[in-house]
Amino acid sequence: MGENQKKKPMTIMKKMVIALFGGLALGIVFLLIRESLTANGQDHIWQVINRILFQDITKEDSFKSIGIFYIIGQLFMQGLQLAIVPLVLVSLSLALCSMSNPEKLGKIAGKTLLCFVSFYAVGAFCAGSFAYLIKTLGWFSVELPAADTSSVATMDSYNPLVTVVNAVPSNIFSVFTTNTSILAVVVVAVIIGLCMNLLREKADPLKKVLESLNEIIKVYMEFLINKISPVAIFCMITRTFATYGVEYLQPSLTYILATIFIGLLLVFTIYPVGIWLTTRLNPFIFIKKVLKVGLFAAATNSSAATLPLNKKTCIEELGCSEEISSFVLPTGMTINMNGTTVMHMMAITFIATSAGIDIRPSHLVLAAFLSICTAMGTPAIPVAGTTMVFAVLNGLGFNSDLCMIGYALVLAMNYPPGMAVITLNVVGDAATNVIINAKEKELDREIYNKQ
């Protein structure tokens, strides 16, 4: 009897929840310790704690630092980024290669893109309206603290249409050496997959290589997510809150809470409503089943890490076909950054208002266009979407020193809003997948409705 009732191992979702709230609690404790030590003139004690646990060891003045929490977090995030290019390349190539009816790919691709763009437009409108309301109420009118903007990540003037040109690479190998050209990787994967599909048995040797690589990636991701991610997430969240400081937390608290609120509100509204309007499926079942995917994404802060769980949930619990899911979900991971656009609308309004600029609805319309264009080309890695805020600011002409201080605040405080942003992205991928499967009459409604 004892053997039959062995204690079941803790599920990954329970581990994530513990890591999430444990890191939040410990981070706030360290934040309070830091403020207390600073107020009592014992800043040197905090410096020792910071060097041992939290210091970014890549900085010039960190030679004597250990940065335990920083190292663990960076190893995990770089481990995730290591898998992004091969994950997208292999999954999309095999999906297109295995598609039994290649002629329907055009229809599926067109419907997928239309669905993503529709969610982009609705999300941008809702976020822009909400941001303008908060600005009108005066909640974004804050006194910016002095900040060092010398290390702020910026970029040259950016025409969003460059994303279209860069989608087709001039060198196939160059796009595999960086995580900033994921859209180009998608194009390469589509070309390889379609060509393999046309060649059929002639492409079998390459197909076997890709299938073997796919199994390797699967084993690697499962190890990274199941064994490493809970500890890494605990360390990253603890470090994030421990190193903020009240001087950053206070002026940007409205922006953080507003972005989290609108992000979560849209998760529970536009996607369920979109599913009901287009398929007449019960939207509450969708939310109930996909909630763990959103929580996992929030904890890892990576859509790439969430892809395996999202695909598993869509196929096994929502009744989506593996064929369509293998195309829609990796594509969505790359170009569906709806949450990034929502965050951009909030961040632009916050930065401009706090810098003394009277932002108008016309500014927000232009910001939405710029954001959607840039978000589609944003790599599926943490902080990338926040960095692209500068491209939108630049496009609007908001580049004063005060704007740069506000931008530095948004960058410094990107983790909490990023958790809502990434949730919006991955749930949007799942919602689009359900809609496309239903439209193509490949959704198993019995599995979908099973409670």
CA distances to 42, 228, 259, 447 from 240, in Å: 21, 18, 17, 40
pLDDT of residue 435: 96
Neighbouring C-beta atoms of residue 424, cutoff 10 Å: 30
pLDDT of residue 159: 58
CA distances to 88, 176, 389 from 395, in Å: 30, 29, 10
CATH architecture of 99-171+249-449: Orthogonal Bundle (1.10)
pLDDT of residue 97: 82
Residue 374 contacts residue 158 (beta carbons within 8 Å): yes
For the entire predicted model, the pTM comes to 0.80
Q: What angle do CA 332, 183, 118 make, to 5 degrees?
A: 40
Furthest C-alpha separation in the chain: 74
Q: Is 1 exposed, middle or buried (0-12, 13-18, 19+ CB in 10 A)?
A: exposed
Please report, for the chain, the start and end positions of each structural domain, with discontinuous segments joined by +: 99-171+249-449
Terminal Cα distance for the chain, rounded: 30
Neighbouring C-beta atoms of residue 36, cutoff 10 Å: 11
Q: Provide the token pair at 440.
A: 């193509």
Listed in sequence order, the residues at least 6 apart from 345 whose beta carbon sits closer than 8 Å to its beta carbon are 124, 127, 128, 131, 364, 367, 368, 371
Three-state secondary structure of the chain: CCCCCCCCCCCHHHHHHHHHHHHHHHHHHHHHHHHHHHHCCCHHHHHHHHHHHCCCCCCCCCCCCCCHHHHHHHHHHHHHHHHHHHHHHHHHHHHHHHCCCHHHHHHHHHHHHHHHHHHHHHHHHHHHHHHHHHHHHCCCCCCCCCCCCCCCCCCCCCCCCHHHHHCCCCCCCHHHHCCCCHHHHHHHHHHHHHHHHHHHHHHHHHHHHHHHHHHHHHHHHHHHHHHHHHHHHHHHHHHHHHCCCHHHHHHHHHHHHHHHHHHHHHHCCHHHHHHHHHHCCCHHHHHHHHHHHHHHHHHHCCHHHHHHHHHHHHHHCCCCCHHHHHHHHHHHHHHCCHHHHHHHHHHHHHHHHHCCCCCCHHHHHHHHHHHHHHHHCCCCCCCHHHHCHHHHHHHHCCCCHHHHHHHHHHHHCCHHHHHHHHHHHHHHHHHHHHHHHHHCCCCCHHHHHCC
Residue 186 contacts residue 331 (beta carbons within 8 Å): yes
pLDDT digit string (tens) for the chain, length 451 residues: 454 555 677 777 788 888 888 988 998 898 888 888 888 888 889 888 988 888 888 877 777 788 899 899 888 888 887 887 888 888 888 888 877 666 677 788 889 989 999 999 999 999 999 999 999 988 887 766 555 444 444 444 455 566 677 778 888 888 888 776 777 888 888 889 889 888 888 989 999 999 999 899 888 888 888 888 889 888 888 887 787 656 666 667 888 899 999 999 999 999 999 999 999 999 999 999 999 899 888 877 778 778 888 988 999 999 999 888 988 998 888 788 888 899 999 999 998 888 888 888 988 998 898 888 877 766 555 556 666 787 788 888 887 878 888 887 787 777 788 888 899 999 999 999 999 999 999 999 999 998 7
Neighbouring C-beta atoms of residue 205, cutoff 10 Å: 9
**222-225-227-233 Cα dihedral, nearest 10 degrees:** 180
Q: Provide the token pair at 219.
A: 């084993």
Angle between helices 415-439 and 105-137 (to 10 degrees): 140
Q: Smallest Cα–Cα separation from 288: which of 305, 265, 272, 306?
A: 272
Listed in sequence order, the residues at least 6 apart from 306 whose beta carbon sits closer than 8 Å to its beta carbon are 293, 296, 297, 300, 422, 426
